[in-house]
Amino acid sequence: MRPNGCGGTEYGDTFTAGADCMLRVAPYLVAAILTGPVLAGSLGALIPSFGFLPSLGHDEFGLDAWRALLDWPGIGGSVLLSFASGILTAGVSLLLALLFLAVFFETRAFVWLRQAIAPMLAVPHAAAAFALAFLIAPSGFLARLLSPWATGWQRPPDLLIVQDEWGLSLMAGLVMKEVPFLLLMALASLAQIHAGERMRLARSIGYGRISAWFKSVVPALYPLLRLPVYAVIAYSSANIDVALILGPVSPPPLAVQVLRWSNDPDLDFRMIASAGAILQFAVTAGAIALWILAERCVGLLTRGWLVSGRRRTGDTGLAALGQGLFPTLILASILGIAALGLNAFARVWRFPDALPGRWTLAHWQSVAETAGGPVVATLWIALLTTLLSLVLVVCVLENERQRDVRSGRILEFLIYVPLLVPQIGFIFGLVLLAELAETPPGGGLVAAGHIIFVLPYVYLSLSEAYRRQDPAWTKIARTLGQSAAGAFWKVRLPMLLTPLLTAFAVGAAISIGQYLVTRLLGAGRVETVTTEAIALAAGGDRRLIGAWALTQAILPVAGFALALAAPRLIWRNRRGMLGGVR
């Protein structure tokens, strides 16, 4: 007899044994995918950094690589730049995201903001960086719109705006992409902390909107945003694609310098690259550590302020700032994309004309002639990796539900491992390991690498909706004669169609945007729209860049459009399916 109430799975049974086994294995498999390559890759970089790289005939340990690294001209500047862009990007992005939420929470614009986030996130980093470059460059769209009537410029001013040595344009480009990310993560947490009730309570006892938000909601919200913020620091301190487009050239951010070394035809530079990759770990870890210290300080300094009883602290000014900045950012994004588009169709575009004088389709013809291969590679890698990730994530979440246990904090943390560890650090190590194992670089290796980054985002995108689904649906289906599997396939999954499609679009967008993994694990044999677009950055052919960057942006945005449109079409007569999860 089966003891009541302590069956291993939900309601004491039973998918088929095979399916059940798959569910049990899934969390371990996911944990392995999230941590295995990171660990192996880190070791793969650590060991050569001490002089041991047998494939190149180096088999004696030593500190030469580290000495060469530390003697490299400009290395200090590279480190400082990476460190600063990690901290500053995260700080500015977090403040902006919190300010926008404070200003717009539960207003009419809030609904709109929710919807604007998905497409903003879908645009790959590289395309966004090109858009910003085309907007703010001395001969960019903004200068043209303002010249000569406001600036008096008859020719582009001699200013270094894009790729400035302070990395300001780099950080601006990162902020534009990280604000929507933090907004999305915050939006997913608001219900959990009952933000609406907190706001209403604080407002009802006289707090201004901004003060109410920062005093009553943020203290509960921030702990839930902590890991995403650390991920922003990690990404911004070690990013490559945006840095190649907007970052300073000499000295470049550390990660870019490591990439240069690893691409150097002189293979001995790989030892320095390894040491650089390890240094990048330290820089990112240091940036996160400084941030944690700052967290503590802010916590201590605001303790009195939280309970001071002051109802308004700069509310009017901050509200005006938020109300002004948000439309400005949206407008900048739209103008940036417009600048890409105008360049892509421009034949002659003299400064300071606001619009091209003559138009052409020639750049698109050039794209069309060469884009076939990269588009196909981009799509198959994105679809395959996202599908696999989605299956794995559903297995993990279903296992959690069946056994009525949260997979636990461990998995929740492991999800962030690939997002917290600098890519260049372990991917380069993986390349060395793949060479050691004589695994030929190519599509398979690239796809395997993409999964490491697609999986976390699919998980983050789907888990909340999956967990929120009411278990009573299963009970109803079971009492109506369905097996556990029947209830899953016929009721639970169809009801989750919208979040599943959204998670798919998120995953595909992440895969499409991957640069470094594709570049290093593909060893130049796998070209995607992203590697093609970024490869053009150095050449500076604006017309072609415009066309390629748009191509790169269109794929993920189209994915999102499909993911949003499909449920509306499928459920056009099912109003209950178009709200939230039930």
Partner 1 sequence: MTLGLGLKDVRITLGGRDLLSLDCVIEPGTVLTVMGPSGSGKSTLLSFVAGFLTAPFTAEGRILLNGADITDALPEARHVGLLFQDPMLFPHLSVGGNLLFGMPPGSPDRLASAGEALDRFGLEGFADRDPATLSGGQASRVALLRLLLSEPKAALLDEPFSKLDRHLRGDIRRFSFERLRDAGLPTVLVTHDPEDAEAAGGPVVELAGTG
Scanning residues 436 to 465, which ones bind partner 1 (CB under 8 A)? none
Q: What is the DSSP string of 33-65?
A: HHHHHHHHHHHHHHHHHTTEEGGGTEES--SHH
**Minimum CB distance to partner 1 smaller for 303 or for 582:** 582
Residue 491 in contact with partner 1, rule: CB under 8 A:
yes
Please, what's the b/e burial string for 202-241 (b: 16 or more CB within 10 A of its CB; e: otherwise)?
A: bbeeebbbbbbbbbbbbeebbeebebbbbbbbbbbbbbbb
Residue 52 in contact with partner 1, rule: CB under 8 A:
no
Residue 108 in contact with partner 1, rule: CB under 8 A:
no
Residue 577 in contact with partner 1, rule: CB under 8 A:
yes
Residues in contact with partner 1, total (CB under 8 A)?
37
C-alpha to C-alpha distance for 274 and 269, rounded to whole angstroms: 9
Q: Which residues fall within 8 angstroms of residue 474, CB to CB, at 6 or more apart? A: 10, 11, 484, 487, 488, 491, 492
Residue 2 in contact with partner 1, rule: CB under 8 A:
yes
**Minimum CB distance to partner 1 smaller for 12 or for 206:** 12
Residue 467 in contact with partner 1, rule: CB under 8 A:
no
Residue 11 in contact with partner 1, rule: CB under 8 A:
yes
- Range in contact with partner 1 (rule: CB under 8 A) among 69-77, 332-340, 460-468, 491-499: 491-499
Residue 495 in contact with partner 1, rule: CB under 8 A:
yes
Among 108, 296, 409, 574, binds partner 1 (CB under 8 A): 574
Residue 21 in contact with partner 1, rule: CB under 8 A:
no
CB of 570 to partner 1, least distance (A): 9
**Minimum CB distance to partner 1 smaller for 3 or for 304:** 3
17-49 and 269-306 are packed helices; what angle lies between their axes, rounded to 10 degrees?
110
C-alpha to C-alpha distance for 551 and 200, rounded to whole angstroms: 45
465 and 581 in contact (C-beta within 8 Å)?
A: yes
Among 4, 296, 409, 569, binds partner 1 (CB under 8 A): 4
Q: Token match 């300001």: residue?
A: 168
Reading the block at residue 270, the tokens are 């790989």
Residue 476 in contact with partner 1, rule: CB under 8 A:
yes
Please, what's the b/e burial string for 550-572 (b: 16 or more CB within 10 A of its CB; e: otherwise)?
A: bbbbbbbbebbeebbeebeeeee
CB of 398 to partner 1, least distance (A): 16
C-alpha to C-alpha distance for 412 and 390, rounded to whole angstroms: 16
- Range in contact with partner 1 (rule: CB under 8 A) among 7-15, 51-59, 269-277, 448-456: 7-15
58 and 52 in contact (C-beta within 8 Å)?
A: yes
Residue 1 in contact with partner 1, rule: CB under 8 A:
yes
Phi first, then psi: give them for residue 163, nearest 5 degrees.
Answer: 65, 30
C-alpha to C-alpha distance for 65 and 200, rounded to whole angstroms: 59
Please, what's the b/e burial string for 454-467 (b: 16 or more CB within 10 A of its CB; e: otherwise)?
A: bbbbbbbbbbebbe
CB of 500 to partner 1, least distance (A): 13
**Minimum CB distance to partner 1 smaller for 62 or for 486:** 486
CB of 89 to partner 1, least distance (A): 42
Residue 481 in contact with partner 1, rule: CB under 8 A:
yes
Chain residues binding partner 1 by CB under 8 A are 1-7, 10-14, 404, 472-473, 475-483, 486, 490-491, 494-495, 497, 571, 573-577, 582
